[in-house]
Structure 1
Amino acid sequence: MTMKRTALPKYNKPQGTTPNTPSRPSTQLPQCKSIPSRVEQRGNSQFQSLTRWLLHNQIYLSFNLIAVLFFIHSCLPKVRPYTSMFFSLSHHNPSTGNYGAGSGDLFFLALCVILFTGLRACFMEYLLGPLAKHWGVVKKKELTRFSEQAWLLCYYSIFWTLGVYIYCTSDYFLAPREMFTSWPTRELPGITKTYILGQCAFWLQQVIVINIEERRKDHWQMLAHHVVTILLIYTSYTLHLTTVANLVLVLMDVVDIFFPIAKCLKYLGFTTLRDIMFGVFMFSWFVARHVFYILNLYHIWKYMPETINPGCYYKSQDALIIGPTPLPERGWSHMLEAFSNPSGTICYSDGIRWGFLGALGFLQVLTISWFLLIVQVAIRVFKGIGADDIRSEDEDEDELDHGHGSVNPEAWKCSANVRGNATSSGVGLPGSWDRKESLGRIGCVKH
């Protein structure tokens, strides 16, 4: 016997009434974020521990390494031919008094990176930080930001002045065609070589800084800028086009003098002077980086092929330049020989010109995007709001410095909780940087 299943009568809920029975709670589970594996957590923890240790021992490591090198150089005469390359320029030509390029430059470059690391930390800790406290700055982040900007002001004031001196005393002063007439210039005066290697060391040290200190939202943009700048300096030095590097660095560095001044005035509370200096900074940015810089790109595009004949050039035993000889029809090894042996054969083709223009054009695109943000801040100034957006990040208004001379707060502990679109490790994702973060880092550019 089969039972016929009958449908239950449909219950229609009266409108405007609420059932007495409580509503059934939702059984949908909340979405859980992916949890990194233990290996990833251990790797991140070890890396952060290493960077935190490096951050707080910069002075100790830097000056102790230099002291050890100096001790070995003084006490072990047999190794002086090697240790002397750390303390002096290599590849000196006594007959001309100038210096060539070679692998020995890496030793001097390494010492400069170590020296810049120690000097920066020492100045911030024992000079610039206490000076800011004396002038009334008491918040930890403001102390750190003031010290960072004051250090940049010291560096750019010295190296921009040195770069201008080299440019004004050169043959290509106000004569852009002369930048290429004597190519390849195999040897440089000592002051020019020190300037180029010092600039390269500074940007290498900046790469270290942005990776051991608290990462900001524009970390990857700044890293890309620093890497391109280092490659341009290295390539111009290796291919004996330091004339181009000198002029580009002069145009870029002048802006980085006015921006730190505006930042320091902000932290000291001089709002009117800050806004005036911001206007000077904005004007210098536009003229140097978007007028003369683009004009320099045009000079490279026009005069380089007109002045330099394609081919390979050799150096004779009498330090004379022989060439050009025809370029090999196959392979690229002849174009790369200059990087492995700067004093050997060097070849020029039109690809070198386009390589320089491409890298310099990339920097121009970055500076244009940053300049658009500067214009937004300028609009705020004209509206009377002030240029408060020229900062690296929002300052913690309640965080005061009660320590003694410490200008490097342990921001690592809260780096995982940064604002905006960021990963759990505090690393800003490409494209997630906001206007305030970007404007605060413009002064570091080569940015």
Structure 2
Amino acid sequence: MSARNGHVTRQRSGSLQKTLQNIEDDPKHHIAGSLAPQTPPTSVPSSPRPKRLHELPSQGFLNDLVTMRWMRRPSSSFKLLVLPIILYINWALVAPQFNNPWARLLFPSNRLPDSAQGFRQYAKSYWDLAFVAYYIVVFSFVRQSMTIYVLKPLARHYGINKEAKLDRFAEQGYAVFYFSISTSLGIYTMYNYMPTWFYRTEYFWINYPHWQMPGTLKVYYLLQTAYWTQQFLVLVLKLEKPRSDYAELVAHHVVTLWLIFWSYLVNLTYIGNAVYMTMDVSDVFLALSKIFNYLRMEKTKTVAFAWFTCVWTYTRHYLNILILWSVWKEFDLIPYQNKVWERERGAWLAPWMKYQIFLPLFLLQLINLFWYFLIWRILLRAIFSSTLDDERSDDEDDEPQKKKKE
């Protein structure tokens, strides 16, 4: 037992308890930071810090390409972004009678005859890689433009001046923006164009292979691929300051990209759309709770985090376990003649693929369960602990100094 600030606290024992305590007290953890107490906003900016690589003066567009700084410089990503548009327009004006090769970067490719319901249909194409590459550039430009010109000025307006908090506020603002759009598009696609509404899991397998895709589904899938690839590159190239749960996030992104790639390749886009939706909607509420926390809206942040917990429970556990159950129990709804590995027919689900699908989804569920355990510890601590604000600080810039004093 020890006394601190007039409060008696019990020393926790055991390496696991200590690890969990460190995570809960870590303001930079991507979940724990949602309720970490904040130092009061101040009009005094934080002390100057050395400039990061992407903040140094540009050495030129070619140098930005080689060093990948274009992902952090809107001026360079804009040049990459606008060039195919100019070439597309130029081709359309000069040679409209020929197929425009630049259209493959801007729009989905490999269109098929319209469906019986009258909506556009597409199949996979190697040009999908070019589409994804182009929209990685688009997301880099949008993300950094919003960060520099919208979200950081907004944070400063509300008294946030420390650079670390400005970065985190901008990250969460962009997350609200992106996941709100992706969730809406995913729901729209499932409701209007797919038999799987609402999580009628038997249609993941009935009439497989689903190699024909509604145009909206193909765009939705490829944009998600571009988004997560861009996020993964930012993470592994350390273009941003790494979080304390860096390893967890890398593992999460690796599993996510693995699922995206293989589900698209083997014509499992119906189940892929369902998984996407379970992941995205909870991230909106998580990001909102972090924003309210940075703004020191104490009651609002707790309410938002409670809503986040409810949404997470339903989507990332109930619905994801429903999907796992479907993989395990409904896999045999695939027509017998299509339970083969035949590229020519677009049928890739030989019987052993059941385990290949189940395992990554199960690993993703284990990661989510670990985070879910933390979520409840953090939420209960926020609700029932009256000394929380006295015992923790979210002053990320002061963290190294605190450790030195200890």
The 3 A distance-change label for structure 1 pair 182 and 388 is farther
Name the SS of the counterpart of 2:328 in structure 1: helix
Do the aligned residues in 2 keep the contact of 1:378 with 1:387 (CA within 8 Å)? no
Is 2:106 the counterpart of 1:87? Answer: yes
Q: Which moved more, 1:185-194 or 1:373-382?
A: 373-382
Do the aligned residues in 1 keep the contact of 2:173 with 2:291 (CA within 8 Å)? yes
Is 2:218 the counterpart of 1:193? Answer: yes
* Correspondence for 1:65 among 34, 58, 80: 80
Query: Displacement, 1:348?
Result: 2.1
Letter of the 2:373 counterpart? L
Q: Which moved more, 1:343-352 or 1:188-197?
A: 343-352
State the match for 1:308 in structure 2. Answer: 334
* Correspondence for 1:271 among 290, 298, 309: 298
Q: How is 1:123-134 mapped onto 2 (pairs within 5 angstroms)? A: 123-134=146-157
Do the aligned residues in 2 keep the contact of 1:310 with 1:350 (CA within 8 Å)? no
Name the SS of the counterpart of 1:350 in structure 2: coil
Name the SS of the counterpart of 1:181 in structure 2: coil
Query: Displacement, 1:107?
Result: 1.2
Do the aligned residues in 1 keep the contact of 2:88 with 2:102 (CA within 8 Å)? yes
Do the aligned residues in 2 keep the contact of 1:275 with 1:386 (CA within 8 Å)? no
Name the SS of the counterpart of 2:69 in structure 1: helix
Q: CA deviation digits over 1:367-412, x for unaligned, max 9? A: 11111111221232122348879x99752269xxxxxxxxxxxxxx
Is 2:223 the counterpart of 1:204? Answer: no
Do the aligned residues in 1 keep the contact of 2:202 with 2:326 (CA within 8 Å)? yes
* Correspondence for 1:286 among 304, 309, 313: 313
The 3 A distance-change label for structure 1 pair 419 and 195 is farther
* Correspondence for 1:135 among 122, 136, 158: 158
Could you tell me the TM-score, scaled by structure 1's length? 0.67
Q: CA deviation digits over 1:35-58, x for unaligned, max 9? A: xxxxxxxxxx9xx99898717843
Q: How is 1:195-344 mapped onto 2 (pairs within 5 angstroms)? A: 195-210=220-235, 211=237, 212-305=239-332, 307-311=333-337, 327=340, 335=341, 338=343
Letter of the 2:396 counterpart? E
Aligned positions, number = 330
Looking at CA atoms only, which structure, 1 or 2, has the larger radius of gyration?
A: 1
Do the aligned residues in 2 keep the contact of 1:380 with 1:386 (CA within 8 Å)? no
Is 2:370 the counterpart of 1:369? Answer: yes
The 3 A distance-change label for structure 1 pair 388 and 128 is farther
Q: CA deviation digits over 1:85-116, x for unaligned, max 9? A: 00111001145431111101111111111100
Do the aligned residues in 2 keep the contact of 1:228 with 1:359 (CA within 8 Å)? yes
Q: 5+ residue gaps in structure 1?
A: 1-44, 313-323, 328-334, 399-413, 421-447
Could you tell me the TM-score, scaled by structure 2's length? 0.74
1-structure distance, mates of 2:403, 2:216:
45
1-structure distance, mates of 2:362, 2:74:
37
CA RMSD, Structure 1 to Structure 2 (Å): 3.2
State the match for 2:168 in structure 1. Answer: 145
2-structure distance, mates of 1:66, 1:295:
40
1-structure distance, mates of 2:322, 2:75:
45
Q: 5+ residue gaps in structure 2?
A: 1-52, 57-62
Is 2:379 the counterpart of 1:354? Answer: no
Do the aligned residues in 2 keep the contact of 1:62 with 1:117 (CA within 8 Å)? yes
Q: CA deviation digits over 1:317-358, x for unaligned, max 9? A: xxxxxxx7xx5xxxxxxx4x64xxxx7543321221211110
* Greater RCO (Cα-Cα under 8 Å, separation 6 or more): 2
Report % sequence identity.
28
2-structure distance, mates of 1:188, 1:53:
33
State the match for 2:123 in structure 1. Answer: 100
Query: Displacement, 1:239?
Result: 1.3
Name the SS of the counterpart of 1:82 in structure 2: coil
Letter of the 1:71 counterpart? I
Letter of the 1:183 counterpart? Y
State the match for 2:196 in structure 1. Answer: 172
Q: Higher helix fraction: Structure 1 or Structure 2?
A: 2
